[in-house]
Amino acid sequence: MSRLPHLSSRLQGFGTTIFAEMTALAIKTGALNLGQGFPDSDGPTEVSEAAIEAIRSGVNQYPPGPGMPDLRLAIAEHQQRFYDLTVDPDTEVLVTAGATEALAAALLALCETGDEVIVFDPTYDSYKAGISLAGAVMRGVVLQPPTADEVAAGSSAWTFDPDELRRAFNPKTRLILLNTPHNPTGKVFTTEELALVAELCVEHDVIAVTDEVYEHLVFDGAHQLLATFDGMADRTVTVSSGGKTFSFTGWKIGWAMGPAPLIAAIRTAKQFLTFVNGAPFQPAIAVGLRLGDDYYDGFRNELLAKRDLLCNELADIGFATFSPEGTYFATVDVRSMGHEDGIEFCLSLPETAGVVAVPSAVFYADQRDGLPFVRFCFAKNDQMLTDATARLREAFA
Ligand SMILES: Cc1ncc(COP(=O)(O)O)c(C=O)c1O
């Protein structure tokens, strides 16, 4: 009866990830885990209390397919408040099981087999699998780290070659998947870069799907939405999630926003993936979205201080460190410590230093493009960051 291989061709190469291996190593060695991309403390009490209250008051059955009306309204209010963007909560917002489902449903709904999807490489790990599940083909534009001189001059901006992006657009291109602020590099796309993406999307009639889950973790300046650039309003799907902003990543309440026809298409795919999820968490995330500016400012400032704590220590120990412009991830180049291979470095790090980090190579289409880079997550309590850097100092300084 058994037909091998069991895994369909669309999922070949997407077996167990290095994250499982690293977590197992962390547990076995008692290492401090700066690998995982989630905070080690809960978000605001008002938000968790709202979820508890919702469960107690019986908000426990299937919510409406597009998401609870009040959450969709809160999402629309959030877009108006932060970006001056008017969104119709009834037709232009879809609540999803995290940003991950919104991205997968968008790819499944909008791509034909063989269509090309442009991404900036490296990518968050679900992109490649989502594109493959949709039968589409990923076309990467590699992000280059800043040079040593640029880092010395205080810049941590990763960049891409505009001509490489221009060449990536072709008649097969269906959409571009853009993540800003960007995991794993921490890059925040500039106005000029977004304008170029917009210009190319309009010229080639391409849809943009933007992943903005770190929208409230831009450390310098304001977050910019591709949807607000000329010609993009009717061709951009903006994806975000409550997981990162409110530190409730396990609740998996995300959303997609965009023109009604695109949202209707994505809703069609979404309804056969999860249909709905997280009934009592939906009103709670609505409470979060309506928190005052003090919450949003406090959240960003807290992570900014953690970024500086970690990055200053790493640089002081001797790591070539790329302090991020956004997100809660910092990258180092292990060549500065005499290592060539970030995968080997991370596999030995729990033993040598009692710390877990993630090799950035796993986020690249071709691992060789990111081999010397290693990602640390700093959404951890200060004591843990201090202990982890003390251990690294002992092992490497
Ligand atoms: C860039 C990016 N997109 C999406 C996600 C997943 O978001 P969610 O948990 O809302 O599915 C993550 C989580 O790490 C991420 O880093």
Reply yes or no on whether the pLDDT at 216 is more than 90: yes
Rounded distance between C-alpha atoms, residue 183 and residue 174, angstroms: 23
Q: Is the CB–ligand 1 distance for residue 95 below 6 Å?
A: no
Instruction: Indicate if 205 and 348 belong to the same structural domain.
Output: no
> The domain containing residue 301 runs over which residues?
9-43+294-396
Mean pLDDT, residues 364-392? 97
The answer to whether residue 1 is domain-embedded is no
Q: Which of 96, 100, 214, 273 to mutate to test the pocket of ligand 1 (most atoms within 8 A of CB)?
A: 100
Q: Which of 271, 289, 307 is the last residue of a domain?
A: 289
CA 373 to ligand 1 centroid distance, Å = 20
Q: Is the CB–ligand 1 distance for residue 96 below 6 Å?
A: no
Reply yes or no on whether the pLDDT at 3 is more than 70: no
* pLDDT tens for each residue of 85-144: 999 999 999 999 999 999 999 999 999 999 999 999 999 999 999 999 999 999 999 999
The answer to whether residue 4 is domain-embedded is no
Instruction: Indicate if 239 and 312 belong to the same structural domain.
Output: no
Is residue 136 within 8 A of residue 117, CB to CB? The reply is yes
pLDDT at 4: 58
pLDDT at 387: 97
Reply yes or no on whether the pLDDT at 383 is more than 80: yes
Instruction: Indicate if 380 and 247 belong to the same structural domain.
Output: no
Q: Which of 289, 323, 342 is the last residue of a domain?
A: 289
Q: Which atom of ligand 1 is nearest to 102's Cα?
A: 11
Residue whose C-alpha is closest to residue 269's, from 93, 73, 103: 103
Q: Which atom of ligand 1 is nearest to 254's Cα?
A: 10
Q: Is the CB–ligand 1 distance for residue 123 below 6 Å?
A: no
Taken in order 348, 312, 143, 137, the sign of the CA dihedral is positive
Please report, for the domain that includes residue 61, its CATH number.
Answer: 3.40.640.10
Position 24 confidence tier, pLDDT thresholds 50, 70, 90: confident
Q: Which of 17, 183, 328 to mutate to test the pocket of ligand 1 (most atoms within 8 A of CB)?
A: 183
Q: Is the CB–ligand 1 distance for residue 63 below 6 Å?
A: no
Rounded distance between C-alpha atoms, residue 35 and residue 19, angstroms: 8
Q: Which of 254, 289, 324 is the last residue of a domain?
A: 289
Position 350 confidence tier, pLDDT thresholds 50, 70, 90: very high
Instruction: Indicate if 235 and 100 belong to the same structural domain.
Output: yes
What percent of the chain shows pLDDT beyond 90? 88
Position 219 confidence tier, pLDDT thresholds 50, 70, 90: very high
Q: Is the CB–ligand 1 distance for residue 184 below 6 Å?
A: no
Instruction: Indicate if 137 and 280 belong to the same structural domain.
Output: yes
Q: Which atom of ligand 1 is nearest to 100's Cα?
A: 11
Mean pLDDT, residues 190-196? 98
Q: Is the CB–ligand 1 distance for residue 37 below 6 Å?
A: yes
Mean pLDDT of the chain: 95
What total number of domains does the chain contain?
A: 2
Q: Is the CB–ligand 1 distance for residue 242 below 6 Å?
A: no
The answer to whether residue 24 is domain-embedded is yes
Long-range contacts of 228-233 (CB under 8 A, 24+ apart): 228/83, 228/85, 229/194, 229/195, 229/197, 229/198, 230/195, 230/198, 230/202, 231/198, 231/201, 231/202, 232/198, 232/201, 232/202, 232/208, 233/259
CA distances from 83 to 86, 91, 235 (A): 9, 19, 17
Please report, for the domain that includes residue 353, its CATH number.
Answer: 3.90.1150.10
Reply yes or no on whether the pLDDT at 212 is more than 80: yes
pLDDT at 1: 47
Q: Which atom of ligand 1 is nearest to 183's Cα?
A: 1
Phi/psi-derived region of residue 200, left when phi > 0, alpha when psi is between -120 and 50, beta in every other case: alpha
Residue owning tokens 């970690």? 310
| DSSP bridge partners of 386 | none
Q: Which of 75, 211, 245 to mutate to test the pocket of ligand 1 (most atoms within 8 A of CB)?
A: 211
